[in-house]
Chains A and B, each alone.
Chain A
Amino acid sequence: MSAEGAKVQSRRLEVIANNLANVNTVGFKPDVAAFQSRFAEAIQRGQALDGDRSMNDVGGGVSVFDTTTDFAAGRLQKTGNQLDLAIVGDGFFQVQDAQGEQFLTRAGNFTIDSQNRVVTQNGMFLLDSGGSEIALTPGLPYSISATGDINQAGNTVQLGLQRPGSLGDLVKVGDNLFRPLAEVQPVEAGMREVRSGFLEMSGTNSTRQMMDMIETTRAFEANVRVLQSQDSMSSNLIGRVLLS
């Protein structure tokens, strides 16, 4: 039981370590490790009712934990670079890799590739609301409106801002990308807001993470201490049985 507790705490520390490692990652969303207390085994097997206040009601420790991603908006930082885009409120940028697989991202640090296309730092193509790649004409000035319209020389393309039905449908795949597990829908016209020249910084709150980390290490130590006292109890018991 305590061993399980210690293991879960150490997994939680790994999650905190990743959050803190990404304290400077644009568009990063921190994970929260959530614990689940386990029912007593008797209850789980259906041999007793839960909440009957008997010996069987003693919980079974802690078990599997979930990692949920905290999608709260990060702080916006001004960069002055026109192709740095930040989404205010809901939605994600839709990007596509060379194999045609589509991902969502909140990291808006885009650049232009040698074929004039707007790409992520890894060379993935940013998609417009029609799902096609966005290309700019070299040398001509362009502007990006607050609703995500890119205007260049009379041509307008609209950024594809998408969101999944539920934020739980997103799997983190690294490289600042999320893989949607279900269909994504465009963000409604009135809800679209994009800031050009700004970046959404990491959502990691370092103070909170530090506190979680202290708590985690202490909880780990406490679990191990219980483990040790259980060990000494059983060794006493064995000793006594052997003596008698």
Chain B
Amino acid sequence: MSVQTLYTAATGMEALETKLDVIANNMANINTTGFKKDRANFEDLFYRQIRVPGSENSDGSITPTGIEVGLGVRVASTQSDHDQGAFETTENALDFAIEGSGFFQVAHPSGQTVYTRAGNFGINANNELVLGSANTGYRIEPSISIPEEATEVVVSADGNVQYRTSDSPDLSSVGTIQIATFINPDGLLKMGDNLFAETAASGTATPGNPGDPGYGSLRQGFLEASNVEPVTELIDLINTQRGFELNSQVVQAGDEIMQVVANIRR
């Protein structure tokens, strides 16, 4: 009987551990460019219906309540929160932030297009615009090459990439940075390295130009900071820890009862 108590409390502790993992990851990425925080959603497990409410009792009357004993809790999902992060000014011509919805598209070596909100780009040996993260260096899609002689790169809010050389004061265009939106960005798969991949839940990417209706616009010289809010995370952390303690108390109570049972016969 009390064994159920132990298992129920254990589900609580397990779910809270997962929540703690999520909080730890959020906190760890508090300075990660373009990071989107996660949230653990909990739901109750099923119920043992010992007597369904509204059943007929021996007198023939309908009972207003029943006996339902719940079996605990589980994590239903971890949901990313795609709220806009704060803007950090960097004054680097190849740092871009998206204000509004949309993701930069980059080419993954597997041939698949992957998505990111981290706009810290650089130029590789072939003069191509590439993602500046540590172990990727993936090319932006559609690819944009900036000639070697360029002395200044100007990117407008609608994604148009132009450059100037020391010879001429006129701007020449080399292409447009496109961004992609998703019906359900929460459904994107987090790949690490600041990258997201499309899934059946996210829907297919719909690429468009920055500034189109429903698409965000580009800000050159800015980066989108992580949207983790330390205060909220700390409050969540405290709550999780207390919840864990409460559930461990339940385990102790269940254990105590079993001990009493074991000692019934003296």
Contacts and interface: CB of A to CB of B under 8 A. Distances in A.
A18 B76 contact: no
A228 B8 contact: no
B69 A67 contact: yes
Contact of A175 (B44, B53, B215, B240): B44
A18 B254 contact: no
A16 interface: yes
Interface stretch (A5-13, A49-57, A92-100, A187-195): A5-13
Contact of B201 (A14, A17, A25, A114): A114
24 contacts: A9-B257, A10-B257, A20-B9, A20-B246, A20-B250, A21-B11, A22-B44, A31-B69, A66-B66, A79-B39, A80-B83, A111-B79, A112-B183, A139-B213, A140-B214, A166-B64, A172-B68, A182-B54, A206-B243, A213-B250, A213-B253, A214-B253, A217-B257, A228-B266
Interface in A93-126: 107, 109, 111-116, 121-122
B156 to A, nearest CB: 21
Interface residues of B, number: 72
Contact of A31 (B70, B76, B242): B70
A49 B228 CA distance: 68
Nearest to A170: B53
Contacts of B15: 21, 24
Interface of A: 6-7, 9-11, 13-26, 28, 31, 34, 64-69, 79-81, 107, 109, 111-116, 121-122, 138-140, 166, 168-176, 181-182, 206, 209-210, 213-214, 216-217, 220-221, 224, 227-228, 231
A14 B8 contact: yes
B186 A217 contact: no
B53 A171 contact: yes
A67 B67 contact: yes
A9 B253 CA distance: 12
Contacts of A109: 41, 79
B174 interface: no
Interface in B179-235: 181-184, 186-187, 200-203, 206, 213-215
